[in-house]
Structure 1
Amino acid sequence: MEDLKIKLKIERMIVYGHGVLRQFPKSEKHTLAADIRQCMYRLLRQVVITNRRYHKKTTAQEIDAELDLLRSLVRIAMDLGFLPFRKYHIWAEHLHEIGRMVGGWLKWIRNNPPTPQSQESAARSEASPA
């Protein structure tokens, strides 16, 4: 089974982010860097959960909120001087691309609501020959 593209993008962003977070000052490794790391893992967890759920709308909105929080934390790290501008720019590109994918996913979910189980079984019974 092929993995979701958004999941793979988030995994690549996490790998990049871990390299950057290692360069944070020791005083911030257990505060801001830990918060950023946890936020990245929550984002990945939410994508996996959303993919498995039947009703995806609320969990997909949680992904959007988590992504917004991660953007803010990365921006704060750059403003405080813990993150060089070039690394911030690369990380922001990762986040922008993931955000576009989440936006497209949310748009698809809104336009394709799940069908209730009773309608699905009725449609199958009408389509099958007797």
Structure 2
Amino acid sequence: MIYYGYQALRHFPKSERHTSAAEIKKCMFRVRRLIITANKRFYKKNTLEELDIEKTVLMYHLRQAKNLGFLPFKKYTIWIGMLEEIGRMIGGWFKTIKK
């Protein structure tokens, strides 16, 4: 997802690269950091909740970029598809914790 994000963010307008593109990058790295943290922790529930929230925030940023015309619809659907798959993985992780 991060590699695809870098390719997509490269096509943002120059005026938005240091604002919304930087915020999207920050969210992507936070998602990756939370995945690694959840993998290492024994009590994962709080970290997984934070991860789910950060994934949702990233989805909102992408939707805003699409609505403002910075992100083409095709790239948006591919990226959102990747995030939805991460969401399914988080849901499966939650189910294993509750058992």
Q: Return the TM-score normalized by structure 1.
A: 0.75
Does the Cα contact within 8 Å between 1:61 and 1:106 map onto a contact in 2?
no
- For residue 20 of structure 2, what is the aligned residue in structure 1? 32
Correspondent of 2:41 among 53, 75, 82: 53
Cα displacement (A) at 1:86: 0.6
User: Structure 2: which 5+ residue stretches go unaligned?
Assistant: none
Structure 1 contact 20–87 (Cα < 8 Å) conserved: yes
Post-superposition offset of 1:107: 1.6
Q: Counterpart of 2:24 in 1: which secondary structure?
A: helix
Alignment length, in residue pairs? 99
Q: Tell me which amino acid in the other structure corresponds to 1:27.
A: S
Residues 2-61 of structure 1, C-alpha deviations (whole Å, 9 max, x = no match): xxxxxxxxxxx0000000001000000000000000000000000101111111110011
What is residue 3 of structure 2 aligned with on the other side? 15
CA distance in structure 1 between the aligned counterparts of 2:98 and 2:53, rounded to whole angstroms: 17
CA distance in 2, matches of 1:75, 1:106: 26
Structure with bigger RCO (C-alpha 8 Å, 6+ apart): 2
2:63 equivalent in structure 1: 75
Q: Distance in 2 between matches of 1:67 and 1:106?
A: 15
The list of structure 1 runs, each at least 4 consecutive aligned residues, that deviate by more than 2 angstroms after superposition, is none
**Larger-Rg structure:** 1
Aligned match of 2:88: 100
Residue identity opposite 2:51 in structure 1: I
% identical equivalent positions: 53
